[in-house]
């Protein structure tokens, strides 16, 4: 099968919109592979912070991105043989990843690695530029979002369930700053592109969002 014939569902959206959970469930329902593109930027951030790299040095960060020794195994992520599934979800890592993602060299270094996830029978990919840059020929493109307040509440609940202390006001401020940074960057900015369906999950639960995407895919 020609790789471009392998279907892709691209789900983009802002931080804490629930796109990761929704994308995973859609992939599970369809028996497709799943790509959490944000995890790759978080892995670059974690690796950089652990090596005391300068987070303002694009060349160093792109080199780290190109050399990442990472394995995705079911729901777990391994960096240099260490399980870092939870470590990359820390807020410090998330904020660093958002800054790192603004660097064109880092994005180029990770581009082919992301595209390599496109395997038979199909792929569900979530991120910021899955439909616009990484998989512009995706069969279905979704821009999944929710109000900043709703997203902050979801992130707060997620962190508390993991035993991580959090402040709802700080989370809301961080989300708004991240939204501005992701939307305003010069390379692959976060935005609803042409041919992309908007899915606002402010008043939807995960199951309803998943069903909505599955219905849209079935209608293609």
Q: How far is CA 40 from CA 59, 71, 151, in A?
A: 17, 11, 21
d(CA 155, CA 106): 26
Closest by CA position to 26, among listed 53, 8, 50: 8
Is 127 annotated to bind a ligand? Reply is: no
Asked if residues 11 and 21 have their Cβ atoms less than 8 Å apart, the reply is no
Q: Which residues contact 146 (CB under 8 A, 6 or more apart)?
A: 16, 17, 18, 154, 200, 201, 202
Token pair listed for 215: 């219905």
Is 17 annotated to bind a ligand? Reply is: yes
Is 15 annotated to bind a ligand? Reply is: yes
Q: Is 128 exposed, middle or buried (0-12, 13-18, 19+ CB in 10 A)?
A: buried
**CA neighbours within 13 Å on the CB side: how many for 15?**
30
Is 20 annotated to bind a ligand? Reply is: yes
Closest by CA position to 11, among listed 107, 114, 128: 128
Is 102 annotated to bind a ligand? Reply is: no
H helix or E strand, kind and range, residue 45: helix 37-50
Point out the annotated binding site: 13-21
Point out the annotated binding site for ATP: 13-21
């Amino acid at each position: 099968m020609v790789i471009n014939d392998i279907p892709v569902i691209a789900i983009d959206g802002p931080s804490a919109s629930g796109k990761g959970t929704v994308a995973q469930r859609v992939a599970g329902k369809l028996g497709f592979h799943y790509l959490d593109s944000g995890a790759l930027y978080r892995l670059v951030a974690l690796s950089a912070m652990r090596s005391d790299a300068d987070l303002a040095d694009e060349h160093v960060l792109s080199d780290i991105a190109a050399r990442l020794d990472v394995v995705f195994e079911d729901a777990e992520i391994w960096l240099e043989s260490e399980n870092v599934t939870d470590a990359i979800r820390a807020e410090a890592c998330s904020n660093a990843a958002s800054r790192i993602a603004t660097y064109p060299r880092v994005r180029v270094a990770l581009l082919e690695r992301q595209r390599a996830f496109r395997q038979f029978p199909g792929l569900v990919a979530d991120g910021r530029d899955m439909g616009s840059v990484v998989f512009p020929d995706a069969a279905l493109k979704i821009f999944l979002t929710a109000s900043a307040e709703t997203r902050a509440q979801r992130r707060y609940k997620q962190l508390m369930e993991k035993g991580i202390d959090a402040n709802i006001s700080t989370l809301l401020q961080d989300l708004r700053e991240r939204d501005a940074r992701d939307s305003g960057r010069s390379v692959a900015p976060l935005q609803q592109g042409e041919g992309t369906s908007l899915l606002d999950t402010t008043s939807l639960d995960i199951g309803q969002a998943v069903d909505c995407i599955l219905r849209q895919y079935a209608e293609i």
